[in-house]
């Protein structure tokens, strides 16, 4: 198998400088660095600094060695050795061509001297390219290059075992009190980052609406914890979120309150239908074109109280507040089936 050669790094050159002043032999340096002895001898010979005016400053210095090495690599680059080719590439970049288009056109024309797109990218982000601000002519317009093939996939923000697919059936069938769902209600971007958190208890349909000044996860989750903390544990058994970035601070909520958290599948907010339905009803009063900075938390509390005092057919025309209070006090709640032909009370 072919052995890949890697250049000495600045950290390795620092160690060589320190060992050089300690009179360590090049063979011992090579052994400690895991390099061939010829690599160390070549490094000491090629990157030795000599000062004729102040001889005592002559010697091996890591910063000088790194600078000399970078200079040699710069002079060896193809676009630095071929000025006409470099001018052609830079002219195409300024005309709006991408590096891949430039390299592909050279191959199509069978140019005798040509470069690949990776060479062009390296020239753009080299010291000379940055000085000419060539990166401004790339489609991305990034000042710093972002790795592609070496880019690591970020770890998942939500544990797979907390998927809604593993949520107990008693939650889905609304058979147990204390199961909440939460979501964020957003407004037009021109109104700023202010938003509203909506929470609903699945059995009673009891709604809580909270105003947020921004979309950062910590203040949002802290406000949810503040609302749920006074409730007994049987009234805050679990809460279901979607996979929005505003809920990534869920471990702190679970650790602080002991409330189990569940998450919808990716791009499947419909799986928490109770709070989505509540958001739809809430939009009758605060639509997307409403400026959230014009109403206060007290006004939201009054609106929420009005909705919780509205009879619901799914609750046998009881109100969410009545059902929530009955379950909170431990009286329980059994939904009464409505008769298709109710008895007349006029007879």
Say if 235 falls within a structural domain: yes
> Is 42 in the same domain as 65?
yes
Least confident of 100-109, 137-146, 206-215: 137-146
> For residues 311 and 326, what is the distance between their CA atoms, to the nearest angstrom?
15
> For residues 219 and 196, what is the distance between their CA atoms, to the nearest angstrom?
12
Q: Which stretch, 71-80, 248-257, 324-333, has highest mean pLDDT?
A: 248-257
Say if 150 falls within a structural domain: no
> Is 124 in the same domain as 244?
no
Alpha-carbon distances of 139 from 95, 99, 100, rounded to whole Å: 12, 10, 11
> For residues 202 and 93, what is the distance between their CA atoms, to the nearest angstrom?
58
Mean pLDDT along residues 256-271: 90
> Is 101 in the same domain as 205?
no
> For residues 21 and 9, what is the distance between their CA atoms, to the nearest angstrom?
19
Q: What is the pLDDT of residue 335?
A: 44
SS3 content of the chain, % helix, strand, coil (to 5): 50, 10, 40
> Is 113 in the same domain as 244?
no
| Contact of 160 with 252, CB cutoff 8 Å | no
Total of domains in the chain = 3
> For residues 280 and 292, what is the distance between their CA atoms, to the nearest angstrom?
17
* Structural domain boundaries enclosing 84: 78-137
> Is 84 in the same domain as 67?
no
- What's the pLDDT band for 346 if we cut at 50, 70, 90? very low
Kindly report, residue by residue over 212-225, the tens digit of the pLDDT.
Answer: 999 999 999 999 99
Residue 71 CA, chain-centre distance (Å), reads 38
> Is 205 in the same domain as 264?
yes
Q: Which residue has the higher pLDDT, 55 or 237?
A: 237
Say if 143 falls within a structural domain: no
> Is 289 in the same domain as 173?
yes
Kindly report, residue by residue over 195-210, the tens digit of the pLDDT.
Answer: 999 999 999 999 999 9
Burial class from Cβ neighbours inside 10 Å (0-12, 13-18, 19+) for residue 81 reads exposed
Query: pTM above 0.75?
Result: no
> Is 122 in the same domain as 64?
no
> For residues 277 and 265, what is the distance between their CA atoms, to the nearest angstrom?
18
Query: Which of 59, 74, 89 delimits the end of a domain?
Result: 74
Mean pLDDT along residues 45-64: 85
- What's the pLDDT band for 6 if we cut at 50, 70, 90? confident
Half-sphere exposure of 20 (CA within 13 A, CB side): 18
> Is 286 in the same domain as 180?
yes
């Amino acid at each position: 198998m072919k052995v890949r050669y890697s250049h000495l790094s600045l950290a390795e050159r620092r160690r060589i400088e320190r060992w050089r002043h300690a009179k360590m032999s090049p063979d011992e340096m090579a052994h400690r660095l895991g390099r061939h002895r010829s690599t160390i001898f070549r490094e000491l010979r090629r990157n030795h600094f000599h000062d004729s005016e102040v001889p005592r400053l002559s010697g091996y210095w890591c910063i000088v060695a790194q600078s000399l090495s970078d200079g040699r690599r710069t002079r060896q680059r193809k676009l630095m050795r071929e000025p006409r080719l470099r001018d052609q590439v830079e002219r195409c970049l300024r005309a709006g061509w991408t590096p891949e288009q430039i390299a592909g056109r050279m191959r199509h024309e069978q140019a005798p001297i040509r470069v690949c797109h990776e060479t062009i990218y390296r020239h753009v982000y080299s010291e000379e390219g940055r000085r000419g601000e060539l990166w401004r002519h790339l489609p991305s317009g990034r000042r710093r290059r972002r790795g592609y093939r070496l880019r690591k996939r970020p770890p998942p923000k939500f544990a797979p075992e907390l998927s809604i697919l593993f949520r107990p059936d008693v939650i889905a069938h609304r058979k147990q009190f204390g199961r909440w769902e939460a979501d964020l209600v957003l407004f037009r971007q021109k109104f700023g980052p202010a938003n509203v958190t909506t929470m609903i208890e699945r059995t009673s349909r009891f709604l809580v609406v909270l105003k947020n000044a921004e979309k950062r996860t910590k203040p949002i989750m802290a406000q949810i914890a503040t609302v749920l903390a006074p409730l007994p544990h049987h009234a805050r058994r679990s809460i279901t979120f979607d996979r929005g970035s505003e809920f990534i601070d869920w471990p702190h909520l679970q650790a602080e309150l002991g409330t189990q958290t569940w998450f919808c599948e990716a791009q499947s907010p419909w799986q928490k239908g109770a709070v989505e339905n509540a958001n739809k009803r809430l939009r009758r009063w605060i639509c997307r074109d409403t400026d959230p900075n014009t109403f206060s938390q007290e006004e939201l509390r009054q609106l929420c109280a009005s909705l919780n005092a509205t009879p619901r057919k799914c609750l046998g025309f009881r109100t969410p507040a009545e059902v929530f209070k009955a379950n909170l006090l431990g009286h329980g709640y059994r939904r009464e089936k409505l008769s298709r032909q109710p008895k007349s009370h006029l007879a």
